[in-house]
């Protein structure tokens, strides 16, 4: 790859330079054209393009591709209550189709590594966790699924109906089996597994603590939702006598192996605890806006040394959201709340790359363009006739409402997207798979007695 403007995230930018790849690694980068190399070599002309690290998505619920557009004007708790019964009808076929479309959509927005938080496992509906892993393998994206869980239904003071929760011992056994079957800790790993009880209002204290013990014994990471809304604050105070972050600290859930989704409502002392313990955050601005949850204190977290990555969140609360677009949303939300210097375009790019890599424990392997790191690279065409009016290519990427064309997306040096087209799977078929997953889920939910008209508008 040569003649591109290179934004490595770590180190100075190169106005016109080259990136040399051997196998799945970057072996060199620098100014000017690539050197002559012996043997057959593919030379990618990056003239008029911006090269960045592949983007890293640190929070998602891929199955929700199949339930977009429901409860459009609801708060988080209203939206969840309207959605749980629909989700209880999903099966492995729904999950596979939804994950195929969702991951394909992410790849088209520059994503090379995505996490996923799957926490709804209806009994007798097939292997849902395997279904999304199969979809990621077919697309060729790195994948970090989190085996989620809920054991605290309404009968025990939780939010979800009892029909969608699992037995605690069964959860721990299934989670251990997922780690054993799929987790690959190697440098070039395409697949790792995290442990992720859903939230303080749907997981018991015992599930949280025993999940943490399991994860740490197996050397995998921990993830859950936290401090997303003021309703959650009230729930935790009423049920546990503590605010969400204090409750997590009591349960042993702060540390460098933990990243939380959202963290919208953190106090000053919460932020200090996150910084002191190395606890990370996945910022999901579009979902937070869609649900009226608030604006996370990202600029303040960064200033105090908290690691922050980006996430698109599940598409049911963030319809058709691109990961590249979340850089712009993050920047605009912080500036709307705290002024125009609170977050820069390059800081937003870092959130989407190194911030995400750190959340997933992969900062030594990816997240920046450096010799020795994996060749996960996005090449954006910033000489588009309209974008060419912006001299700064990073500004053209981050500030733009319309994403610049994606000339190439490499995962470990292998092309996944070329000229805005998926190359590993049929793009139209991937989109149709998501649409069929939606139709199938609605049929299954209807067969179980779910009434759309009642649930869509709580």
pLDDT over 90, % of the chain:
91
- Residue 291 — very low, low, confident or very high, per pLDDT cuts 50/70/90? very high
Q: pLDDT (tens digit, 9 = 90+) per residue, 60-96?
A: 999 999 999 999 999 999 999 999 989 999 999 999 9
pLDDT over 70, % of the chain:
98
- Residue 118 — very low, low, confident or very high, per pLDDT cuts 50/70/90? very high
Q: Please, what is the Cα angle at 172 between 58 and 126, to 5 degrees? A: 75
Between strands 258-262 and 222-226, the pairing is parallel
Window from 18-22, 32-36, 272-276, 438-442 with minimum mean pLDDT: 32-36
With a cut of 90, say whether residue 449 has pLDDT above it: no
Q: What confidence score (pLDDT) does residue 451 get?
A: 61
- Cβ pair 333, 285 in contact under 8 A: yes
Residue 117, Cβ neighbours under 10 Å: how many? Answer: 27
How does DSSP assign 168-237, residue by residue?
HHHHHHHHHHHHHHH---STT-SB--EEEE--TTTS-HHHHHHHHHHHHHHT--EEEEES-SHHHHHHHH
Instruction: Please tell me the distance from the alpha carbon of residue 152 to that of residue 239, in angstroms, as a whole number.
Output: 12
Task: Identify the CA nearest to 125 among candidates 102, 94, 152, 101.
Answer: 94
Q: pLDDT (tens digit, 9 = 90+) per residue, 357-415?
A: 999 999 999 999 999 999 999 999 999 888 889 999 999 999 999 999 999 999 999 99
Q: What confidence score (pLDDT) does residue 415 get?
A: 98
Q: What is the mean predicted confidence (pLDDT) over 218-245? A: 96
Q: pLDDT (tens digit, 9 = 90+) per residue, 236-254?
A: 999 999 999 999 999 999 9
User: Which residues are bridge partners to 406 per DSSP?
Assistant: 380
Q: What confidence score (pLDDT) does residue 103 get?
A: 98
- Residue 287 sits at φ, ψ, to 5 deg, of -65, -45
Q: What confidence score (pLDDT) does residue 388 get?
A: 86
The helix (H) or strand (E) run that includes residue 442 is helix 427-447
With a cut of 80, say whether residue 457 has pLDDT above it: no
Q: What confidence score (pLDDT) does residue 11 get?
A: 94
Q: Among all chains, which residue has been given the structure tokens 């990056």?
A: 46
Instruction: Please tell me the distance from the alpha carbon of residue 413 to that of residue 20, in angstroms, as a whole number.
Output: 10
| Tokens read off for 186 | 């190697």
Between strands 377-381 and 308-310, the pairing is unpaired
Task: Identify the CA nearest to 54 among candidates 364, 418, 409, 373.
Answer: 409
pTM of the model: 0.97
User: Which residues are bridge partners to 118 per DSSP?
Assistant: 147
With a cut of 80, say whether residue 456 has pLDDT above it: no
With a cut of 80, say whether residue 203 has pLDDT above it: yes
Listing from the earlier edge strand, what are the strands of the sheet with 406-411?
25-31, 14-22, 2-6, 49-53, 377-381, 406-411, 414-418, 421-422
Question: What CA–CA distances, in Å, run from 384 to 5, 122, 174, 419?
Answer: 14, 47, 49, 12
| Tokens read off for 206 | 């015992």
Q: What confidence score (pLDDT) does residue 159 get?
A: 87
Q: pLDDT (tens digit, 9 = 90+) per residue, 142-182?
A: 999 999 999 999 998 888 888 899 999 999 999 999 999 99
With a cut of 70, say whether residue 452 has pLDDT above it: no
Q: What share of the chain is helix, strand, coil (3-state, %, to 5)?
A: 40, 20, 40
Mean pLDDT of the chain: 96
Residues in the chain: 458
Q: What confidence score (pLDDT) does residue 387 get?
A: 86
The burial class, CB within 10 Å (0-12 / 13-18 / 19+), for 391 is exposed
Instruction: Please tell me the distance from the alpha carbon of residue 308 to that of residue 341, in angstroms, as a whole number.
Output: 18
């Amino acid at each position: 790859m040569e003649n591109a403007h290179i934004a490595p995230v770590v180190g100075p930018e190169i106005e016109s330079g080259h990136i040399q790849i051997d196998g799945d690694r970057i072996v060199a980068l620098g100014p000017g054209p690539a050197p002559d190399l012996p043997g057959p070599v593919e030379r990618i002309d990056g003239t008029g393009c911006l090269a960045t690290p592949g983007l890293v998505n640190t929070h998602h619920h891929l199955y929700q591709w199949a339930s977009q557009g429901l409860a459009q004007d609801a708060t988080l708790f209203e939206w969840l209550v309207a959605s749980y019964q629909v989700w209880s009808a999903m099966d492995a076929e729904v999950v596979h189709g939804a994950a195929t479309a969702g991951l394909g959509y992410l790849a088209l927005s520059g994503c090379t590594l995505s996490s996923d938080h799957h926490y709804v496992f209806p009994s007798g509906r097939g292997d849902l966790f395997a279904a999304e892993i199969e979809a990621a393998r077919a697309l060729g994206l790195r994948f970090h699924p989190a085996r989620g869980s809920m054991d605290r239904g309404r009968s025990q003071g939780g939010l979800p109906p009892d029909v969608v929760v699992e037995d605690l011992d069964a959860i721990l056994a299934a989670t251990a089996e997922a780690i054993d079957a799929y987790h690959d800790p190697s440098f070039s790993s395409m697949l790792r597994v995290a442990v992720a009880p859903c939230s303080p209002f749907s997981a018991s204290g015992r599930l949280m603590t025993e999940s943490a013990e399991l994860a740490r014994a197996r050397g995998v990471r921990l993830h859950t939702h936290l401090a997303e809304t003021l309703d959650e604050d009230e729930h935790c105070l009423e049920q546990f006598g503590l605010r969400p972050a204090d409750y997590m600290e009591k349960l042993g859930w702060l540390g460098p192996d933990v990243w939380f989704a959202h963290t919208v409502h953190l106090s000053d002392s919460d932020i200090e605890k996150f910084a002191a313990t190395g606890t990370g955050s996945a910022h999901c601005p579009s979902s937070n806006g869609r649900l009226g949850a608030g604006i996370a204190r990202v600029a303040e977290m960064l200033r105090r040394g908290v690691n922050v990555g980006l996430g698109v969140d599940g598409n049911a609360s963030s319809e058709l959201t691109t990961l590249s677009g979340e850089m712009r949303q993050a920047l605009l939300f912080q500036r709307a709340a705290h002024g125009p210097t609170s977050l820069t375009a390059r800081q937003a790019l870092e959130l989407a790359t190194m911030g995400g890599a750190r959340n997933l424990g992969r900062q030594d392997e990816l997240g920046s363009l450096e010799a020795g790191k994996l060749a996960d690279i996005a090449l954006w065409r910033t000489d588009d006739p309209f974008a060419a009016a912006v001299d700064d290519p990073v500004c053209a990427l981050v500030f733009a409402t319309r994403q610049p064309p994606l000339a190439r997306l490499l995962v470990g040096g292998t092309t996944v997207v070329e000229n805005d087209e998926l190359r590993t799977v049929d793009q139209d078929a991937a989109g149709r798979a998501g649409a069929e997953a939606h139709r199938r889920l609605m049929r299954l939910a209807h067969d179980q007695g779910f009434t759309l008209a009642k649930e869509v508008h709580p």
